């Protein structure tokens, strides 16, 4: 109702940047084509130092009200923390996280890069539909 009072943050044009690098180039996110099964590829450095464990792409504990999030590990080992459990998945393994489950993930290896892509299903939930 009072949205006209909201501060408007200037937008940056970044669509041409793919991949986008973070953490002085140690991590990146690559957007996949709309026709791909997955949305993005996250690449993380080995978790061998405090700086590498605290990368910008590491999600805080979070949940999705209406969507299942499915991760696919492309390289390395991912540690998934969800619903009070910890599970490690390796290259070519998937990890579905059901809607409503609090979760996060990180690189489980101190020597290997982690590459993981993911998808949210349904891609547009009813509350987001226009």
pLDDT at residue 129, rounded to an integer: 44
Whether 55 is covered by a domain: the verdict is yes
Q: Is the pLDDT of residue 113 over 60?
A: yes
pLDDT in tens, 70-93: 999 999 999 999 999 999 999 999
Whether 94 is covered by a domain: the verdict is yes
Whether 3 is covered by a domain: the verdict is no
Task: Tell me the CATH number at 61.
Answer: 2.60.120.10
Cα–Cα distance, 48 to 110 (Å, whole number): 4
User: Residues 74, 103, 86, 111: is their CA dihedral positive or negative?
Assistant: positive
pLDDT in tens, 3-61: 677 777 777 777 678 999 999 999 999 999 888 999 899 999 999 988 888 899 999 99
pLDDT at residue 16, rounded to an integer: 78
Number of structural domains (the chain) is 1
Whether 81 is covered by a domain: the verdict is yes
Whether 51 is covered by a domain: the verdict is yes
Whether 37 is covered by a domain: the verdict is yes
Whether 11 is covered by a domain: the verdict is no
Cα–Cα distance, 50 to 67 (Å, whole number): 32
Among 9, 31, 4, 10, CA closest to 19: 31
Its domain, for residue 80, covers: 27-121
pTM: 0.81
């Amino acid at each position: 109702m009072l949205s006209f009072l909201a501060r408007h943050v200037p937008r940056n044009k970044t669509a041409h940047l793919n991949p986008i690098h973070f953490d002085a180039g140690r991590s990146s996110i690559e957007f996949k084509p709309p026709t791909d099964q997955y949305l993005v590829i996250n690449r993380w450095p080995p978790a061998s130092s405090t700086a590498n464990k605290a990368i910008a792409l590491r999600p805080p504990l979070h949940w999705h009200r209406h969507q299942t999030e499915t991760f696919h590990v492309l390289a390395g080992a991912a540690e998934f923390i969800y619903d009070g459990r910890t599970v490690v998945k390796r290259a070519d393994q998937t990890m579905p996280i059901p809607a409503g489950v609090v979760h996060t993930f990180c690189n489980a290896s101190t020597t290997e890069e982690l590459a993981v892509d993911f998808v949210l299903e349904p891609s547009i939930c009813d509350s987001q539909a226009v």
